[in-house]
Amino acid sequence: MFHAGVAVVFALRFRYHQLSDTVTKRYRTLKEVSSMQHNRTLKWLAVASTIGMLAILLGGALVTKTESGMGCGRHWPGCNGELIPSEINAEVLIEFSHRVVTGVVGILIVLLSVWAWRALGHIRETKFLSFMAIFFLVLQALIGAAQVLWGQGDFILALHFGISLISFTAVFLLTLLIFEVDRKFDAENVRIGKKLKWHTIGVTLYSYIVVYTGALVRHTDSGLVCRDWPFCRNDDIGLPTNMHEWVQMGHRVAALLIMVWIAYIFYHAWKHYQSQKAVSRGWLIALILVLAQATTGMLVVLTRANLAAALVHSLIISLLFGLLCYMILLVSRSRHFEKKI
């Protein structure tokens, strides 16, 4: 009887451990499935926010190109004294749609920033990028509201696109972190030399100046003051004769310099960083984008400010600036590693 009782006890203990292991495995499986679903939702939110920020940038450019900024009159956040305008024309539709998109995307970005802060707070850039995305989105909205209510000078308005661009870049970089692009290209182990570091920082800061000069061309109505390309007048080459020509040609010279600069950086990176795909391929894409940017800029002039060409021009510079800021992130990672060793 004693031996039979011992056998029963051991059998029960064995069965208990089996059940315990089964429950533990099922719990882990459910936890992994839940985590995967949360990650998938976060990725979709990141993609939607990034596309939404591009829509804000292009919508703002569309408002400027079509001169629809006063489509809702001197009213904000309402439109022509109403929450939703009852009389719709092209200018009202463009301006009001831009405001609605900004509001909806603003909510998405707040959700993304808070979620990323909690889920990816262990990645050192996450909190900074989350703050930047929200702060600069609010700032660009306030500048837009100030323009509607009180009006702003052309040089202040030119900052509007640049500030939106910073918010887009923060969201874009958050999306790259969420999709673990760093791991795919082994960005954690990037080693960048001093020369490339300074060129990366310099060309990124300079690109913002180029963006500002481009926005200034739009806001000062200097887009068609020069009818030819690459010179203002190919049959009469000389210095600009008025402020609008100086703005237009100043932007062209600035664009030429950044194209040459990025081409040189690409040559240097391709020669010395072939083993580091994040660096060499990153600068290859940057070169392609800057060449496409120059091409669309030429088309804007030759097609007499064709709307599609102008919007693609704005889209490409947004992507280029986002990529350059990612290269800055790689520089920061490289420095962080050097401090640790």
Tell me which residues are annotated as active site.
Answer: 95
Q: What does the alpha-carbon distance between residue 234 and residue 298 come to, in Å, rounded to a whole number?
A: 14
Which residues neighbour 16 within 8 Å (Cβ) at sequence distance 6 or greater?
none
Burial of 95 (0-12, 13-18, 19+ CB in 10 A): buried
The residue with tokens 């391929």 is 281
Q: What does the alpha-carbon distance between residue 240 and residue 226 come to, in Å, rounded to a whole number?
A: 9
Which residues neighbour 128 within 8 Å (Cβ) at sequence distance 6 or greater?
none
313 is in an annotated binding site: yes
Q: What does the alpha-carbon distance between residue 170 and residue 126 come to, in Å, rounded to a whole number?
A: 9
The residue with tokens 């029960």 is 12
Please report the DSSP string for 204-246 in residue order.
HHHHHHHHHHHHHHHHTT-TTS--SSSSS-TTS-----SHHHH
251 is in an annotated binding site: yes
DSSP H or E run through 181:
helix 181-184
> Are the beta carbons of 142 and 125 closer than 8 angstroms?
no
Binding residues for heme: 251, 313
